[in-house]
Chain A
Amino acid sequence: MSAPSLAISGLSKRFGGVVAVDAVELQLQSGELHALIGPNGAGKTTLVQLLSGAERVDAGSIHLDGRDITHVAMHQRAGLGLGRSYQISSVFAAFSVLDNLALAAQARARRRWGCWAPVAADAVLFAAARGTLDAIGLSARAETPAGALAHGERRQLELGLALASGASMLLLDEPMAGMAAAEAERMLALIASLRGKFTILLVEHDMDAVFRLADRITVLVYGRVIATGGAEDIRRHPDVRRAYLGEDQP
């Protein structure tokens, strides 16, 4: 499965009087690691909500590999390869870490309706789950209920769910949020290892991390895209410096 492309055009979302996302234009090329940065309240999470289908769009369109998915249901978008992670970890608290990942692997295999054969006896499915478990570095916590994980571990599982679900495009909403420096470094290395295998939209707050990693960067301020480009372009962009870095023009 090759990594898909995503084309976002004129995308808008309003909450009452707040225009959270304002006529956003954005292209993600196949296999690209595209960072989305912007101050708090810029509309980054809302954009991810719109792309994943969790919120309805007010205007504009979303195309995944040329196919219009603007009004496709959330679970169907996932079926088309669109995976996401949440800024606030959203795991299955009562399930063990391994069962969390097995559930995601079940999603990948599109297995929902079986009423008889025990899933736990499915060696292939659990081998896939264990593969992800190793990849996210939680092998020692396989049997731990997800609700009992430390914050950083839960962030790792959060990403693991998206990985195990068979997505080919990942929308990652601040995967390093609230992590200690060493943990964040490991998470960053993990995301770097995904480069090329997935098309990734990486929402991040920490600009240094993003500048090292991303192929291209888009800056969102008050719901509007104010710049898109490589790390150097963004660093030098006067609007970005003014709006995001809080600097006056030199």
Chain B
Amino acid sequence: MTSALHVSARPGFALAGAILLLVLPLGLLAVDQPFYIVLASRILVFALIASSLNLLIGYGGMISFGHAAFVGIGAYTVAGLMQAGIVSAWLAWPIAMLAGAVLALGIGWISLRTSGVYFIMITLAFAQMAYYAIISLKLLGGDDGLSLGGRSALLPGIDLKADLSFYYVALACFAASLAFLHRLINAELGRALQGVRDNETRMEALGFPTYRIKLAAFIIAGALAGLGGALLANLTGLVSPSLLHWTQSGALMIMVILGGAGRLLGGAIGAAVLLIIEEVLRDYTIHWQLGVGVVLLAIVLFAPSGLAGGLAGLRQRRQA
């Protein structure tokens, strides 16, 4: 391959990862730890969401501080539809993606006219507006949120209420999203997006409509986050305004930076590490957030390009 920009999947690595994720819940059942299947599902959902944010931060240079809004609207869409009697995942989940995309179109339309710190602040402001809007809507349960009477219906025979089936559905959604993002970053739009990240003015001088390119990426990320929200609503069985709180957006950003912005697996690795640290430390101390802070600091200091970048660096050094 002559293009250094092209990200090729290492087939052995991908196969190993796929097998591991496929047998993981069976292993957990074998050692009688079914609780961890739910944690693993949660990691997969957040891996999907963080990967969508990585498209913006890592590949587009758009430091969006309001990603939770798209997750939230996806989750509330599924919950609201379920209250209205629409339980089919085939209907509700695409509508959740559409809702995420439409919200991203609206927020991106305005936010993407700014850059730098202003962009960070305005995306944060929009997400907080969405947060307060949800709280004030009695129809959506206000402060208390909405409880989903059950889980979405997928196919006869697949009962999403079973944690095991849900895990595999979450895995399928994550894998499909990651595969799509992989295609995307190597395709025309993805390379143009990385060009915009590197040097937006020059891209415009070359003839690229940079604003629309960024908006397209923003909409795609919003749709994927909406799907993540739909899964999250099903996983927890409850949607509440806290899904849209700015600390959620912050946690997603931490996942991306921790895992490696601009690395294909950055979002997924960051989500796994952050959620596992949280899980482990929570058992030992109520000050687990401090522990997360220390780990984050160490990674920023010792692996500035995130865990994925640090691992790639190690591999290169070993080969050299």
Contact = CB atoms under 8 A, between A and B. Distances in A.
Contact of B6 (A103, A107, A120): A120
B2 interface: yes
B216 interface: yes
A135 interface: no
A54 interface: yes
B204 to A, nearest CB: 5
Contacts of A107: 206-208
A193 B186 CA distance: 34
Contacts of A103: 191-192, 195, 203, 206
Interface residues of B, number: 33
A94 B196 CA distance: 11
Interface in B172-189: 180, 183-184, 186-189
B208 A98 contact: no
B2 A142 contact: yes
Nearest to A102: B3
B273 interface: no
Given A112-B213, A120-B5, A126-B2, A78 B195 contact: no
A75 B190 CA distance: 18
Nearest to A95: B5
A66 interface: no
A92 B202 contact: yes
Select the residue from B194, B201, B204, B207 with max chain A CB neighbours within 10 A.
B207
B189 A120 contact: no
A60 to B, nearest CB: 21
Contacts of B2: 98, 120, 126, 142-143
A118 B191 CA distance: 10
A40 interface: no
A165 B203 CA distance: 10
A65 B127 CA distance: 47
Contact of B188 (A78, A86, A90, A112): A112
A95 B262 CA distance: 13
A41 to B, nearest CB: 22
B319 interface: no
A187 B178 CA distance: 45
Contacts of A96: 3-5
A180 interface: no
A72 B182 CA distance: 35
Nearest to B6: A120
Contacts of A76: 207
A179 B192 CA distance: 30
Interface string B207-224: 111100100100010000
A79 B207 contact: yes
A78 B206 CA distance: 6
A126 B191 CA distance: 14
B199 interface: yes
Contact of B187 (A54, A115, A161): A115
Given A93-B198, A126-B3, A54 B205 contact: yes
A165 B206 CA distance: 6
Given A103-B191, A113-B188, A119 B3 contact: yes
B198 A112 contact: no
A90 B198 contact: no
Interface in A174-203: none
A106 B192 contact: yes
Contact of A119 (B191, B205, B206): B191
Interface string A93-134: 111101100111011101111111111100000100000000
B183 A115 contact: yes
A94 B261 CA distance: 14
A111 B189 CA distance: 8
A72 to B, nearest CB: 12
A112 B195 contact: no
A84 interface: yes
Contacts of A113: 188-189, 216
A52 interface: yes
A74 B183 contact: no
B187 A165 contact: no
A115 B70 CA distance: 21
A91 interface: yes
A75 B208 contact: yes
A208 B6 CA distance: 44
Given A79-B207, A113-B189, A98 B4 contact: yes
B186 A118 contact: yes
B55 to A, nearest CB: 11
B206 A161 contact: yes
Contacts of B220: 115
Given A75-B205, A98-B2, A112-B209, 10 more contacts: A76-B207, A83-B205, A86-B202, A92-B199, A96-B5, A110-B207, A112-B188, A116-B187, A119-B187, A142-B2
11 contacts: A75-B204, A75-B208, A75-B209, A83-B206, A92-B198, A114-B187, A115-B190, A117-B187, A119-B187, A119-B188, A166-B207
